[in-house]
Structure 1
Amino acid sequence: MNKPWYKQFWPWFLIALPGSVVVASLFTFTLFSKNQVSLVAEDYYKEGKGINQDLSRLRQADALSLSARLTLSDDNAIVILDKGELAQFPTIKVTFQHRTLADKDIEKMVNSDQNGRYRLALVEPLQGPWYVEINAFDGSWALNGRANFPSSDPVKLYGQSKE
Protein backbone atom coordinates (compact mmCIF):
# COMPACT_ATOMS: atom_id res chain seq x y z
CA MET A 1 0.00 0.00 0.00
CA ASN A 2 2.80 2.47 0.70
CA LYS A 3 4.07 4.32 -2.36
CA PRO A 4 7.80 4.85 -2.86
CA TRP A 5 9.03 8.32 -1.80
CA TYR A 6 9.47 9.62 -5.35
CA LYS A 7 5.78 9.04 -6.10
CA GLN A 8 4.56 11.07 -3.14
CA PHE A 9 3.70 14.80 -3.16
CA TRP A 10 5.49 16.12 -0.06
CA PRO A 11 9.12 15.23 -0.89
CA TRP A 12 8.80 16.98 -4.28
CA PHE A 13 7.14 19.97 -2.67
CA LEU A 14 9.99 20.27 -0.13
CA ILE A 15 12.60 19.95 -2.89
CA ALA A 16 10.81 22.54 -5.09
CA LEU A 17 10.97 25.31 -2.45
CA PRO A 18 14.79 25.62 -2.28
CA GLY A 19 15.00 24.81 -6.00
CA SER A 20 12.83 27.80 -6.87
CA VAL A 21 15.05 30.03 -4.72
CA VAL A 22 18.14 28.84 -6.62
CA VAL A 23 16.47 29.50 -10.00
CA ALA A 24 15.29 32.97 -8.88
CA SER A 25 18.75 33.92 -7.58
CA LEU A 26 20.41 32.82 -10.84
CA PHE A 27 17.88 34.88 -12.80
CA THR A 28 18.50 37.92 -10.56
CA PHE A 29 22.27 37.56 -10.90
CA THR A 30 22.14 37.42 -14.72
CA LEU A 31 19.71 40.35 -14.83
CA PHE A 32 21.93 42.60 -12.72
CA SER A 33 25.16 41.56 -14.42
CA LYS A 34 23.75 42.55 -17.83
CA ASN A 35 22.30 45.89 -16.63
CA GLN A 36 25.03 47.46 -14.52
CA VAL A 37 24.67 51.04 -13.34
CA SER A 38 27.84 53.10 -13.58
CA LEU A 39 27.18 55.80 -10.98
CA VAL A 40 30.38 55.27 -9.01
CA ALA A 41 33.59 56.41 -10.64
CA GLU A 42 36.45 53.94 -10.91
CA ASP A 43 39.12 56.51 -10.07
CA TYR A 44 37.40 59.18 -8.01
CA TYR A 45 40.70 60.84 -7.04
CA LYS A 46 41.62 61.67 -10.64
CA GLU A 47 38.11 62.95 -11.29
CA GLY A 48 38.37 65.18 -8.22
CA LYS A 49 41.61 66.65 -9.51
CA GLY A 50 39.98 67.16 -12.89
CA ILE A 51 37.31 69.37 -11.33
CA ASN A 52 39.93 72.05 -10.64
CA GLN A 53 40.95 72.05 -14.31
CA ASP A 54 37.29 72.38 -15.32
CA LEU A 55 36.90 75.42 -13.06
CA SER A 56 39.89 77.16 -14.62
CA ARG A 57 38.45 76.53 -18.10
CA LEU A 58 35.09 77.94 -16.97
CA ARG A 59 36.84 81.02 -15.58
CA GLN A 60 38.64 81.45 -18.92
CA ALA A 61 35.28 81.40 -20.71
CA ASP A 62 34.07 84.16 -18.38
CA ALA A 63 37.22 86.18 -19.07
CA LEU A 64 36.52 85.88 -22.81
CA SER A 65 32.82 86.82 -22.29
CA LEU A 66 31.61 83.58 -23.88
CA SER A 67 28.11 82.14 -23.62
CA ALA A 68 25.95 79.84 -25.72
CA ARG A 69 22.35 78.81 -26.29
CA LEU A 70 21.30 75.28 -27.17
CA THR A 71 18.05 74.41 -28.93
CA LEU A 72 16.87 70.91 -29.80
CA SER A 73 14.55 69.49 -32.39
CA ASP A 74 13.84 65.79 -32.82
CA ASP A 75 16.92 65.04 -34.91
CA ASN A 76 19.14 68.15 -34.53
CA ALA A 77 20.87 70.10 -31.81
CA ILE A 78 21.81 73.69 -32.65
CA VAL A 79 24.37 75.60 -30.57
CA ILE A 80 24.49 79.37 -31.03
CA LEU A 81 27.77 80.64 -29.62
CA ASP A 82 28.26 84.24 -28.49
CA LYS A 83 31.98 84.34 -29.26
CA GLY A 84 32.69 87.31 -26.99
CA GLU A 85 36.33 88.35 -27.46
CA LEU A 86 37.29 85.49 -29.78
CA ALA A 87 38.39 86.56 -33.26
CA GLN A 88 36.48 83.79 -35.04
CA PHE A 89 34.11 80.92 -34.38
CA PRO A 90 36.30 78.00 -33.27
CA THR A 91 35.78 74.28 -33.66
CA ILE A 92 34.09 73.04 -30.51
CA LYS A 93 33.53 69.72 -28.79
CA VAL A 94 29.94 69.28 -27.61
CA THR A 95 29.25 66.69 -24.90
CA PHE A 96 25.86 65.45 -23.72
CA GLN A 97 26.10 63.31 -20.57
CA HIS A 98 23.08 61.50 -19.23
CA ARG A 99 22.76 61.47 -15.46
CA THR A 100 22.58 57.69 -15.09
CA LEU A 101 22.95 56.04 -18.51
CA ALA A 102 26.58 56.30 -19.60
CA ASP A 103 25.96 54.39 -22.85
CA LYS A 104 23.70 57.23 -24.08
CA ASP A 105 26.42 59.90 -23.76
CA ILE A 106 27.24 61.86 -26.94
CA GLU A 107 30.50 63.64 -27.73
CA LYS A 108 31.14 65.32 -31.10
CA MET A 109 33.49 67.86 -32.64
CA VAL A 110 31.57 70.48 -34.62
CA ASN A 111 32.44 73.39 -36.91
CA SER A 112 30.23 76.44 -37.27
CA ASP A 113 28.38 77.53 -40.37
CA GLN A 114 28.69 81.06 -41.73
CA ASN A 115 26.19 82.41 -39.20
CA GLY A 116 28.06 80.98 -36.19
CA ARG A 117 25.65 78.12 -35.61
CA TYR A 118 26.84 74.64 -34.78
CA ARG A 119 24.57 71.79 -35.89
CA LEU A 120 24.71 68.27 -34.52
CA ALA A 121 22.71 65.41 -36.00
CA LEU A 122 21.14 63.30 -33.27
CA VAL A 123 20.46 59.59 -33.68
CA GLU A 124 17.46 59.75 -31.36
CA PRO A 125 15.71 62.60 -29.52
CA LEU A 126 17.12 63.42 -26.10
CA GLN A 127 14.80 62.65 -23.19
CA GLY A 128 15.26 63.39 -19.50
CA PRO A 129 18.03 65.12 -17.52
CA TRP A 130 21.32 65.91 -19.27
CA TYR A 131 24.59 67.70 -18.47
CA VAL A 132 25.76 69.68 -21.50
CA GLU A 133 29.34 70.90 -21.95
CA ILE A 134 30.98 72.84 -24.76
CA ASN A 135 34.78 72.88 -24.96
CA ALA A 136 37.20 74.62 -27.26
CA PHE A 137 38.94 72.11 -29.51
CA ASP A 138 42.22 72.89 -27.73
CA GLY A 139 40.66 72.69 -24.25
CA SER A 140 41.39 76.32 -23.36
CA TRP A 141 37.83 77.21 -22.26
CA ALA A 142 34.54 75.51 -21.47
CA LEU A 143 30.85 76.30 -21.07
CA ASN A 144 28.35 74.05 -19.33
CA GLY A 145 24.82 73.71 -18.07
CA ARG A 146 22.09 71.26 -17.09
CA ALA A 147 18.86 70.68 -18.95
CA ASN A 148 15.77 68.51 -19.03
CA PHE A 149 14.71 67.52 -22.53
CA PRO A 150 12.43 67.95 -24.35
CA SER A 151 12.45 71.68 -23.71
CA SER A 152 10.75 74.44 -25.68
CA ASP A 153 13.08 77.11 -24.27
CA PRO A 154 16.74 77.33 -25.32
CA VAL A 155 19.24 76.07 -22.75
CA LYS A 156 21.76 78.71 -21.70
CA LEU A 157 25.36 77.60 -21.24
CA TYR A 158 27.84 79.70 -19.27
CA GLY A 159 31.27 79.57 -17.74
CA GLN A 160 31.61 79.74 -13.97
CA SER A 161 29.33 82.75 -13.50
CA LYS A 162 25.72 81.73 -14.07
CA GLU A 163 23.71 84.71 -15.25
Structure 2
Amino acid sequence: MNEPTSKPWYREFWAWMVLAPLITVLVVSSITVSIAVRHADDEVRDTYHKDSRMYHFSAEQDQRAKALGLAAMVQFQRGDRGVVVELNGNTEYPEKLLLTLSHPLEEDLDQHIVLSQLSVGRYSGSLPVDLNNRWYLRLMPELDPELHKNAEWRLKGEINFDLGEAAPLNAASR
Protein backbone atom coordinates (compact mmCIF):
# COMPACT_ATOMS: atom_id res chain seq x y z
CA MET A 1 0.00 0.00 0.00
CA ASN A 2 1.38 3.44 -0.99
CA GLU A 3 1.34 6.14 1.66
CA PRO A 4 0.65 9.65 0.35
CA THR A 5 3.71 11.85 0.66
CA SER A 6 3.26 14.87 2.85
CA LYS A 7 3.75 18.31 1.30
CA PRO A 8 5.97 21.02 2.79
CA TRP A 9 4.07 23.42 5.06
CA TYR A 10 4.14 26.31 2.59
CA ARG A 11 2.24 24.21 0.04
CA GLU A 12 -0.59 23.50 2.45
CA PHE A 13 -3.80 25.46 1.87
CA TRP A 14 -4.61 25.78 5.58
CA ALA A 15 -1.22 27.29 6.42
CA TRP A 16 -1.93 30.21 4.08
CA MET A 17 -5.47 30.57 5.40
CA VAL A 18 -3.97 31.18 8.84
CA LEU A 19 -1.01 33.35 7.72
CA ALA A 20 -2.70 35.57 5.08
CA PRO A 21 -4.67 37.77 7.54
CA LEU A 22 -1.59 38.20 9.73
CA ILE A 23 0.62 39.22 6.80
CA THR A 24 -2.07 41.62 5.56
CA VAL A 25 -2.33 43.29 8.98
CA LEU A 26 1.46 43.74 9.15
CA VAL A 27 1.66 45.32 5.70
CA VAL A 28 -1.32 47.65 6.20
CA SER A 29 -0.19 48.76 9.67
CA SER A 30 3.35 49.53 8.48
CA ILE A 31 1.93 51.64 5.64
CA THR A 32 -0.36 53.47 8.09
CA VAL A 33 2.49 54.19 10.51
CA SER A 34 4.73 55.52 7.73
CA ILE A 35 1.94 57.84 6.50
CA ALA A 36 1.30 59.08 10.05
CA VAL A 37 4.98 59.83 10.66
CA ARG A 38 5.53 61.51 7.29
CA HIS A 39 2.42 63.73 7.46
CA ALA A 40 2.34 64.60 11.17
CA ASP A 41 0.50 67.73 12.27
CA ASP A 42 2.53 70.92 12.39
CA GLU A 43 3.09 72.94 15.54
CA VAL A 44 0.85 75.96 16.13
CA ARG A 45 3.08 79.05 16.25
CA ASP A 46 1.44 81.83 18.18
CA THR A 47 1.17 83.10 21.74
CA TYR A 48 -0.58 80.06 23.15
CA HIS A 49 0.66 78.16 26.15
CA LYS A 50 -0.52 74.92 27.67
CA ASP A 51 -1.58 74.92 31.29
CA SER A 52 -2.61 71.43 32.39
CA ARG A 53 -5.28 70.47 29.86
CA MET A 54 -6.25 74.00 28.83
CA TYR A 55 -4.70 76.17 26.16
CA HIS A 56 -4.46 79.87 26.93
CA PHE A 57 -4.01 82.67 24.43
CA SER A 58 -1.97 85.74 25.31
CA ALA A 59 -3.17 88.93 23.67
CA GLU A 60 -0.65 91.32 25.25
CA GLN A 61 1.13 92.03 21.95
CA ASP A 62 -2.17 92.74 20.22
CA GLN A 63 -3.29 95.05 23.04
CA ARG A 64 -0.01 96.99 22.84
CA ALA A 65 -0.39 97.36 19.07
CA LYS A 66 -3.95 98.58 19.53
CA ALA A 67 -2.89 101.05 22.26
CA LEU A 68 -0.20 102.43 19.93
CA GLY A 69 -2.74 102.73 17.11
CA LEU A 70 -0.64 100.54 14.83
CA ALA A 71 -1.88 99.42 11.43
CA ALA A 72 -0.06 98.46 8.27
CA MET A 73 -0.65 97.80 4.60
CA VAL A 74 1.41 95.11 2.87
CA GLN A 75 1.88 95.31 -0.89
CA PHE A 76 3.43 92.37 -2.73
CA GLN A 77 5.12 92.91 -6.09
CA ARG A 78 5.17 89.36 -7.36
CA GLY A 79 6.92 90.19 -10.63
CA ASP A 80 10.15 91.19 -8.91
CA ARG A 81 9.33 89.35 -5.64
CA GLY A 82 9.29 92.58 -3.64
CA VAL A 83 7.36 93.43 -0.47
CA VAL A 84 6.55 96.96 0.70
CA VAL A 85 4.97 97.68 4.09
CA GLU A 86 3.48 101.01 5.13
CA LEU A 87 3.32 101.14 8.95
CA ASN A 88 1.26 103.81 10.73
CA GLY A 89 0.88 104.48 14.41
CA ASN A 90 2.13 106.29 17.46
CA THR A 91 5.40 104.43 17.93
CA GLU A 92 9.11 104.66 17.45
CA TYR A 93 9.68 103.00 14.09
CA PRO A 94 12.37 100.29 14.29
CA GLU A 95 15.01 100.00 11.58
CA LYS A 96 13.92 96.46 10.71
CA LEU A 97 10.73 94.42 10.97
CA LEU A 98 9.95 90.75 10.47
CA LEU A 99 7.08 89.73 8.21
CA THR A 100 6.09 86.09 8.63
CA LEU A 101 3.98 84.39 5.99
CA SER A 102 2.47 81.22 7.45
CA HIS A 103 1.04 78.57 5.19
CA PRO A 104 -2.36 77.35 6.43
CA LEU A 105 -1.39 73.67 6.16
CA GLU A 106 2.37 73.10 5.87
CA GLU A 107 4.82 74.62 8.34
CA ASP A 108 7.69 73.75 5.99
CA LEU A 109 6.40 76.37 3.53
CA ASP A 110 6.43 79.27 6.03
CA GLN A 111 8.46 82.30 4.96
CA HIS A 112 10.22 84.88 7.17
CA ILE A 113 11.10 88.16 5.49
CA VAL A 114 13.27 90.82 7.14
CA LEU A 115 12.08 94.26 6.09
CA SER A 116 14.45 97.25 6.08
CA GLN A 117 13.31 100.79 6.67
CA LEU A 118 13.29 102.99 3.57
CA SER A 119 11.79 106.04 5.26
CA VAL A 120 9.72 106.69 8.37
CA GLY A 121 7.02 104.02 8.41
CA ARG A 122 7.96 102.55 5.02
CA TYR A 123 9.76 99.19 4.80
CA SER A 124 10.76 96.85 2.02
CA GLY A 125 12.09 93.35 1.56
CA SER A 126 12.14 90.55 -0.97
CA LEU A 127 10.36 87.22 -1.23
CA PRO A 128 12.57 84.15 -1.58
CA VAL A 129 9.93 82.30 -3.65
CA ASP A 130 6.78 83.03 -5.64
CA LEU A 131 3.64 82.68 -3.55
CA ASN A 132 0.14 81.61 -4.49
CA ASN A 133 -3.15 80.92 -2.73
CA ARG A 134 -3.84 81.91 0.90
CA TRP A 135 -1.33 82.88 3.62
CA TYR A 136 -1.50 84.22 7.18
CA LEU A 137 0.60 87.33 7.79
CA ARG A 138 2.26 88.51 11.00
CA LEU A 139 4.36 91.68 11.36
CA MET A 140 6.50 92.36 14.43
CA PRO A 141 9.67 94.20 15.52
CA GLU A 142 11.34 90.94 16.73
CA LEU A 143 13.68 89.65 13.98
CA ASP A 144 14.12 86.10 15.29
CA PRO A 145 11.02 84.00 14.43
CA GLU A 146 11.71 81.70 17.40
CA LEU A 147 11.45 84.67 19.79
CA HIS A 148 8.12 85.95 18.46
CA LYS A 149 6.64 85.81 21.98
CA ASN A 150 9.14 88.48 23.09
CA ALA A 151 8.06 91.02 20.48
CA GLU A 152 6.77 94.33 21.83
CA TRP A 153 3.76 94.28 19.47
CA ARG A 154 2.42 92.42 16.46
CA LEU A 155 -0.02 92.95 13.64
CA LYS A 156 -1.91 90.17 11.89
CA GLY A 157 -3.75 89.66 8.64
CA GLU A 158 -4.17 87.28 5.76
CA ILE A 159 -3.90 87.40 2.02
CA ASN A 160 -5.19 85.33 -0.85
CA PHE A 161 -2.94 85.90 -3.86
CA ASP A 162 -5.70 84.66 -6.16
CA LEU A 163 -7.74 87.75 -5.17
CA GLY A 164 -5.06 90.46 -4.91
CA GLU A 165 -1.55 91.46 -3.93
CA ALA A 166 -2.21 93.78 -0.97
CA ALA A 167 -3.50 93.15 2.53
CA PRO A 168 -4.14 95.23 5.67
CA LEU A 169 -2.53 94.22 8.96
CA ASN A 170 -4.18 95.14 12.27
CA ALA A 171 -4.02 94.26 15.94
CA ALA A 172 -5.99 91.07 16.46
CA SER A 173 -9.17 91.63 18.44
CA ARG A 174 -10.39 88.90 20.78
Q: TM-score, normalised by structure 1?
A: 0.73
Are the aligned partners of 1:127 and 1:150 in contact in 2 as well (CA < 8 Å)? Answer: yes
Aligned to 1:8: 12
Aligned to 1:53: 60
Instruction: Identify the match of residue 21 of structure 2 among 17, 20, 44.
Output: 17
Question: Deviation at 1:106?
Answer: 2.0
Aligned to 1:32: 36
The verdict on how the C-alpha distance between 1:54 and 1:20 changes in structure 2, with shifts beyond 3 A counting, is same
Question: Deviation at 1:7?
Answer: 1.9
CA distance in 1, matches of 2:11, 2:151: 75
The verdict on how the C-alpha distance between 1:151 and 1:112 changes in structure 2, with shifts beyond 3 A counting, is farther
- Is 1:118 paired with 2:124? yes
Name whichever structure is richer in helix by fraction.
1
Identity across matched positions, percent: 18
Count the aligned residue pairs.
Answer: 157
Matches within 5 A, 1:24-103: 24-38=28-42, 43-45=49-51, 48-49=56-57, 51-62=58-69, 65-73=70-78, 76-85=81-90, 90-103=95-108
Q: What is the one-letter code of the residue matched to 1:139? A: A
Aligned to 2:168: 156
The verdict on how the C-alpha distance between 1:110 and 1:153 changes in structure 2, with shifts beyond 3 A counting, is closer
CA distance in 2, matches of 1:88, 1:25: 55
Matches within 5 A, 1:131-146: 131-137=136-142, 139-146=151-158
The verdict on how the C-alpha distance between 1:88 and 1:43 changes in structure 2, with shifts beyond 3 A counting, is closer
Structure with bigger RCO (C-alpha 8 Å, 6+ apart):
1
Name whichever structure is richer in strand by fraction.
2
Q: TM-score, normalised by structure 2?
A: 0.69
The DSSP-based 3-state class of the residue aligned with 1:127 is coil
Are the aligned partners of 1:70 and 1:157 in contact in 2 as well (CA < 8 Å)? Answer: no
Q: Deviations over 1:44-90 (max 9, x none)?
A: 349735x222222331342xx53222325166241231434456673
Are the aligned partners of 1:97 and 1:104 in contact in 2 as well (CA < 8 Å)? Answer: yes
Instruction: Identify the match of residue 105 of structure 1 among 61, 85, 110.
Output: 110
CA distance in 2, matches of 1:96, 1:72: 15
The verdict on how the C-alpha distance between 1:18 and 1:84 changes in structure 2, with shifts beyond 3 A counting, is same
* RMSD of aligned alpha carbons: 3.3
